[in-house]
Amino acid sequence: MTSDNVALTLGLLMTCATIAMLTSKRGIGLPATLHNGVWAIALLIIGSGLMNYDPLSWYAWSLIATSLIAFNLGILLIGERTSPQPASGTRPLVTLGQFWLLIGAFSVGVLIYLRTIAQNYGLATIISDPTSIREYSAVGYLEAFPLYGKVLFYFGPLCFVLAIFPELVTGLRGAWYRLPLLVFVSGAQVLTLQRTNIFVCIAWVGGVLVLRLIQRGANGKQSVSARRLMGLVGALVLAFAIFQGLAVALGKTGNTNTAIDSVVDPRIRGSQYTSVLHYASSGVPAFGALTESKDRSWPPVGGTGLIIGDYNPQTWGRATFVGPLKLVPGITHWEEVSPFTFLPVPTNVYTWLEPWYRDFRMPGVVLGSLLAGLIIGLAVRHRHASPEALLLAGLLLGFSGLATFINRYMAVMSVVLYLLLAFLGRARRSREMRESVRSSATRRRTSRSGRLTRPL
């Protein structure tokens, strides 16, 4: 069996699994749909011959197939098997005032970012020539962005999700300024010239929408909500539109890149959608190249420009936990932006299996995929506990939709969002406790007043 046939077979299996889980009335396995769906797309692109990369080794295919099985097994082992509960998680997480504080903090982060761009490149460059900012080699534009500014900027995805689901904010439903806020937050994410940032927002929304797909009808039976399914499709269409818009702005549509012609089906060569096919599928052959690399050296530190090479040292946890380790002085960690490899077009997208493989090789891939399934399944099972639990489950589930691109679970942005959800959840519990105490006191006063005024 050829490498393309393996890809086609796995792609068809993932397609069938995705359809089966979406149409399951009991919702068993529903949390695996995003993961299985993106893998199905990537594998079918490769297996159909639309993109003709170098064949993967049997070892690489065995790792990929085992990871698919392990993730789905983790979801099924711990996934919810009961009917949907009343979604207590839809009660507000924040007040309207707290929401505006989040927007304000994010806006400060945006201003710090724009100041960084203005000081290093000129503010007009971000509109007139954004490609030059990404390719400028003397100072990396994201490296020049101060850490405190990045932390505030990372509030953006939460602001985006809260505006999409206004029931999580007291008094936001029906507000006229929701749409302008969404445009502002998403536009600011686009200004970073990184498609990954806006993808985190859309993946989070997609995760929450998947959690809300199953509904109970008046007859007591469960079904997939057609309206919510259309919302999920709309999120995917929006992701595609933003992706293609950024590709055009950055000159990365692929139709003018002669290096990519050798791997593109001749029938679509020169198409402006070439970059979409490449980006959706390139992680698979890149991961295959990583598994075959014999270079055990670390990439150079402190260099300028793109780092290119098949560096493959065993990192022993320093790739998986790169976000937290950045805060520990004196510890060498793997960089979130990995070195580029040639397919023949340079790419640094190695699927979400990359950090697990870099750290612990085959056991890391298997255990990482299994644990991801178990953790997501556990988060989904407890999503009704609180609004922050709903958002955490949606975020973890949404990240699985980036499985063929990148692993975001321990990125610095993700760690900031986890801590922010925990902080807001604690603030919500304190607020509800105070309201409960005031309500109880009011009832006691009313009761005493009623007894005193009772006629003799």
State the number of CA atoms in the 13 A half-sphere of 160 facing the CB.
27
Residue 205 structure tokens = 């929304």
Please indicate, yes or no, if residue 11 is contained in any of the structural domains: no
Tokens coding 51: 């993109």
What pLDDT digit, counting tens, does each position of 6-40 carry? 999 999 999 999 888 877 766 678 889 999 999 99
Per the structure, how many domains does the chain have? 1
Residue in the block written with tokens 């007139």: 128
Classify residue 25: in a domain, yes or no: no
CA–CA gap between residue 301 and residue 74 (Å, rounded): 37
Is 19 within a domain?
A: no
Cα distances (angstroms) measured from residue 258 to each of 49, 148, 219, 261, 389 = 18, 41, 59, 5, 47
d(CA 290, CA 337): 15
pTM of this prediction? Answer: 0.89
pLDDT in tens, 136-145: 544 567 777 8
Q: What is the DSSP string of 223-271?
A: EE-HHHHHHHHHHHHHHHHHHHHHHHHTT-SSTT-GGGGGGB-GGGTT-
Instruction: Encode pLDDT of 381-439 as tens digits.
Output: 899 899 999 999 999 999 999 999 999 999 999 999 999 999 999 999 999 898 888 87
Please give the average per-residue pLDDT across 140-156, as a whole number.
86
> Does a structural domain hold residue 36?
no
Whether 98 maps to a domain, the answer reads yes
**Structural tokens at position 329:** 């002085």
- Residue 81: inside a domain, yes or no? no
Structural domain harbouring 419: 86-456
In a domain, 394, yes or no: yes
Within-domain flag for 80: no
